[in-house]
Structure 1
């Protein structure tokens, strides 16, 4: 029976667990009486690190997309923000604060903020109740013995799968290990032992409280999971009142129930814990939320494992949790991605059960779309080459629109002088019919200056690189094939530019991920210049690590953001300006010269395309429409061969759409065949 307020209940339905996942009429009635037509979800991160973009996807699902799928009207939506803080050794106030700041920055407003730790008293009473029902026991097996027991149970499951006799396989195993000598301890003794645990009478790690579940189950999560362990560590939120702490498997389902959560949404790796989730609520006779699992976010060329991210920070491979190369919310914010960029990306990829690798260009494209109309334009050169005009001695003021697509954003002035700088990518020592920048005899326009110049000569250094360009202003009527951006040699601001690439050299980092780190993921350019009109927006007083800093579009180069390391004071003109690259302007590789794209940007785009093509060669034909980012999440049903039959809204595909898909699949099959021949 669907809850009032939910018009599309079939949209979030997981694998059923007969009996255990069913609410009694009394439980269902009580829940309905307490919540009415309110439909409640929760976002429950553990404060053991900074949030990353995978958490942004989860926030988007729990605060918005889930309700859209279920057809819940805005007035009936509630999302709780819960700190899943049951492991004090790995948690800290820094992480607690960062989670709250990131959630707020992304624009989500929870109906309530809760802490699992504030429910420790209730969780303890639940553990006592389990013991009294004979469904929990204090276990003194050592860590090695528990691992031995789990290995035995694992082999037992394998024997059952092959149709063998599981008990015969266990004959040689000590009964202390299987089924375990502490499983049949009396209720009275377990109550006493558990109280001794709470009072701190045992050393850390000496014993645990385990749930007496079903060790014959094929699901390892039912093999007497741990409920409580001893840790003599003060908790960062509730202090030092406890020396026993509940496990995640024990805590999250109980708190879900106590908070009246309707939909407990998690990622697919938790799907096997569905039995243990419902078993515990059944054992305690508590209300049972609906559980739904979605695919976890996987983005090419990065990792989203907190353990790996922490190692990157601790090893000083990156500058910290907010390093612009990190996939953390803080890192993305420092990189210049706004909340609109991230939320747009999350809306675009959606939430399904299909596992797929999302290519980075989808996130980059979301940034381009969101930044185009809000980023102040500026002219900058990263690799300055001096240009001298031989027949121009005056200076002139040029007016430049702040944002060309929005006249209401005003304009700024830049001063054109007889000497100025252009970017090294716009100069060649020899003319080329396909190159439209500065080269001997070449006619070039100067953007915003209303000036055309003829390149007379190019001076080069010992390394063959251009060092100076000599030009003359011309009034000939011929129209230049390109208009180059520039920065005055007299009026400019020196700055440091940090250009960022992929953190890893491969799309999907392996178990040897530390060997796959890209040593050139950050390139620092100390020679860059930007026009001085940008100075006021680069003032250090305007930077804030918990909010978006000012972004610019460096014309013909890409989008950049003021970094937190900036110390520049616009009033005195002193201090250092630091920019981070956000994303390049969109590049059409086949026509990059006609679009005035820099050579470096084209090369980077070429490498990206090659990496994408290489990654696709690892996708089998039957998984093509599920894993290729162009199609991931677009379809809800497939035939036995993996070919889509229905779109994401459940509508059957039209013949014309299927015909196009078949052509794309044929191209992929051909690519796989060609790759196989080369091997």
Structure 2
């Protein structure tokens, strides 16, 4: 890592820690260095806003736009591009262009466009007239749709989001007056422990915008949460400019799962909805469980979902400051060194019988003694478990989160960032709220299991007289027929029930990604669920239905056969070839088209032939006629050829004349035999996945008394070998190779195999050296092709019985 690079990156406003981290990034560092030099800030600091845009450019530039990166950097330097939206528009505009038309660039990217508050107010006035009846009818419940409609006004494309929000608020107040009893949402009496709700997809599609209606609409604005000292809020607002500041703070001790997708969407989405910022913060205070692969995977998944952190931070960056504040807490007689064992602490808290709580013998030791012992802890004078620092809270409180929580413990473990510098580490209960404070978080969003922690969160901030963010809780997202616990997934991996943490049968986000689920489908699904205070349990079949509906609109169609039977068309000549043009999606020309060969020899699936016909079977049988998809004329089976064991290995058919021939009732998929076209595409494996667990809740001891491992479905994976697919797969692979930025996102090659299901290419495939000579098709390089089934087709019972 070059010290010159670190200094250069600090010129554009990166903190020292961020600059060092960026300098280590082999992909980002040279790109950022180039744009800084192009913009002329190698020897002088830039404005912070300009630096942020240069960083945004370097971190989001695509290969297709890279030749024009200097042009965009200069536009940022010259203040032609002043927002991240404009930079993103610029990247999109210059992609795949040989030359840049300056006038067209300026127009497409909003260069010189100034949208004043007056412009915004006029647009809001005009729009209001078009929806006034609806607004008056629904009153403040209409806010989300009203705001979204205004945001979509073309003339406001480059307007400041805060100005739009202000204008909308003012207009609603003008038209409706202040909120009154008509706008009060009547709540039912809150039950002690609400039941988790199973959400039907058909219901959630009607959910309102989750950032402007429902629970999130009740959040305070930045600056409205009280502080123990008013000047703390003044300093906070000065640092943030009054913006919404959120963070996604995972512990890097495992892979993210589907529940985290909700947290990511809420934290990044809330900030974006209010023109704020969201950081990715690694809560790296447990060195024994943290691994580099978890850090890398978390960032990769956040980006895969489409979010870019404003800054990547680490709790460990603040170890020294956290330590110093712990000393302050001791000096205030609000923390003490304790030598109790875990069992002793439990007994002092009332034990299993929940009896009276008592102070341990160490609670009232002299301040000077605790200070001396804490220093001894820091210097390695205690072994693990011999001493802890506890916060002196309120043992009489009914809230367990006030029962003298542990702030520091001894851990003689190597830390991925600080090495062996520290042998004491702060706990989550101590670290979380203070780092939120250090980073000027305006809204600390977390799931409902932390509701009891909110008072202790506030207690610690006030005790140390630091800025106090607001903590707000939302319900967790859970899925049926799976487990999300890191410990349980680790056990599944260790005992060989699944390949790894990204096995497509799991619901970790790497696993969901590997299964071929598009990130947009996950984000859209989260948004349809909305945000509530109750945990949400989604039937896995409902999630599958949502994924299926999304892929139905976006995935190209291919033909493939899993159990190939050779078909020879007897009345076509040897060497016959017809090139057919096939739409990538029937009745949707916007999806494009591809070509496939039709030859004398083709392959059909074994399930589409029966040697003994049946009146309810409408596919191929001796003497029976069936259509081949996209082929002009149908075929009739005239002969069946078997091997010595009596297995059907070849069918001889007649190609019928379309004139005067009655159209067949059924059309089946097929794949041509044409080596010069690379047909068929021969697959090494097709992995077909079913539910990993048999029961909806494999952790319910009433339904699964033997434990979750006893509920594993032994038939959750079936591997098909020898399957064949049409040459349209080569087209999909070649397009991917030319457009993909990472060259590792094999799962982005998604498609529907007609009448079978939706599939993607698995990372276990070996496509050869596809990065070099992109003009040479992958069909000439591929060594191994593996497909994963993403989700099946929804087939009615009628079709199942007849077709």
TM normalised by structure 2 equals: 0.66
Asked whether 1:310 is paired with 2:490, we answer yes
Cα distance in 2 between the residues matched to 1:21 and 1:183: 31
Gaps of 5+ in 2: 1-161, 170-211, 702-706, 769-777
Asked whether 1:579 is paired with 2:780, we answer no
Question: Which of 174, 178, 194 is residue 374 of structure 2 equivalent to?
Answer: 194
Asked whether 1:509 is paired with 2:663, we answer no
User: Cα 1:279–1:154, aligned 2, differ >3 Å: closer, same or farther?
Assistant: farther
Aligned partner of 2:581 in structure 1 is 399
Aligned partner of 1:430 in structure 2 is 612
1:589-668 map, 5 Å: 589-592=797-800
Cα distance in 2 between the residues matched to 1:326 and 1:302: 7
Question: Helix, strand or coil: the match of 2:489?
Answer: helix
Asked whether 1:485 is paired with 2:485, we answer no
Aligned partner of 1:609 in structure 2 is none
Cα distance in 2 between the residues matched to 1:531 and 1:404: 16
Question: Helix, strand or coil: the match of 1:205?
Answer: coil
1:15-414 map, 5 Å: 23-64=228-269, 66=270, 73-74=274-275, 77-152=276-351, 155-156=354-355, 166=356, 178-393=358-573, 394-404=576-586, 406-407=588-589, 409-414=591-596
Aligned partner of 1:672 in structure 2 is none
Residues 299 and 360, structure 1, Cα contact 8 Å, conserved in 2 = yes
Question: Which of 427, 431, 443 is residue 625 of structure 2 equivalent to?
Answer: 443
Cα distance in 1 between the residues matched to 2:469 and 2:257: 26
TM normalised by structure 1 equals: 0.77
Residues 93 and 236, structure 1, Cα contact 8 Å, conserved in 2 = yes
Residues 385 and 468, structure 1, Cα contact 8 Å, conserved in 2 = yes
Asked whether 1:522 is paired with 2:725, we answer no
Greater strand proportion: 1
User: Cα 1:10–1:335, aligned 2, differ >3 Å: closer, same or farther?
Assistant: closer
Name whichever of 510-519 and 460-469 sits farther off. Answer: 460-469
Residues 227 and 233, structure 2, Cα contact 8 Å, conserved in 1 = no
CA deviation after TM superposition for structure 1 residue 243, in Å: 0.6
CA deviation after TM superposition for structure 1 residue 544, in Å: 4.0
Residues 305 and 519, structure 2, Cα contact 8 Å, conserved in 1 = yes
Asked whether 1:557 is paired with 2:756, we answer yes
CA deviation after TM superposition for structure 1 residue 480, in Å: 0.9
CA deviation after TM superposition for structure 1 residue 52, in Å: 1.4
Residues 153 and 215, structure 1, Cα contact 8 Å, conserved in 2 = no
- The Cα offsets for residues 21-53 of structure 1, whole Å up to 9 and x where unpaired, read as 765433333333332330111110011011112
Residues 215 and 533, structure 2, Cα contact 8 Å, conserved in 1 = no
Cα distance in 1 between the residues matched to 2:497 and 2:374: 44
CA deviation after TM superposition for structure 1 residue 268, in Å: 1.2
CA deviation after TM superposition for structure 1 residue 468, in Å: 4.2
Number of equivalenced pairs:
563
- The Cα offsets for residues 542-598 of structure 1, whole Å up to 9 and x where unpaired, read as 78445743112212212111111111343535511111111122323344457x5xx
CA deviation after TM superposition for structure 1 residue 238, in Å: 2.5
Residues 250 and 282, structure 2, Cα contact 8 Å, conserved in 1 = yes
CA deviation after TM superposition for structure 1 residue 282, in Å: 2.1
User: Cα 1:431–1:73, aligned 2, differ >3 Å: closer, same or farther?
Assistant: same
Name whichever of 508-517 and 201-210 sits farther off. Answer: 508-517
CA deviation after TM superposition for structure 1 residue 396, in Å: 2.5
Question: Which of 415, 422, 426 is residue 597 of structure 2 equivalent to?
Answer: 415
Cα distance in 1 between the residues matched to 2:415 and 2:400: 30
Question: Helix, strand or coil: the match of 2:748?
Answer: coil
Residues 14 and 291, structure 1, Cα contact 8 Å, conserved in 2 = no
Residues 321 and 330, structure 1, Cα contact 8 Å, conserved in 2 = yes
CA deviation after TM superposition for structure 1 residue 205, in Å: 1.7
User: Cα 1:335–1:154, aligned 2, differ >3 Å: closer, same or farther?
Assistant: same
- The Cα offsets for residues 633-672 of structure 1, whole Å up to 9 and x where unpaired, read as xxxxxxxxxxxxxxxxxxxxxxxxxxxxxxxxxxxxxxxx
Structure scoring higher RCO (CA < 8 A, sep ≥ 6) equals: 1
Cα distance in 2 between the residues matched to 1:438 and 1:395: 23
Residues 549 and 563, structure 1, Cα contact 8 Å, conserved in 2 = no
Cα distance in 2 between the residues matched to 1:379 and 1:289: 56
Residues 200 and 243, structure 1, Cα contact 8 Å, conserved in 2 = yes
Question: Helix, strand or coil: the match of 1:180?
Answer: coil
User: Cα 1:133–1:561, aligned 2, differ >3 Å: closer, same or farther?
Assistant: same
Gaps of 5+ in 1: 157-165, 171-177, 597-679
CA deviation after TM superposition for structure 1 residue 116, in Å: 0.5
- The Cα offsets for residues 78-116 of structure 1, whole Å up to 9 and x where unpaired, read as 112111110000001111111111111211122222111
Residues 81 and 112, structure 1, Cα contact 8 Å, conserved in 2 = yes
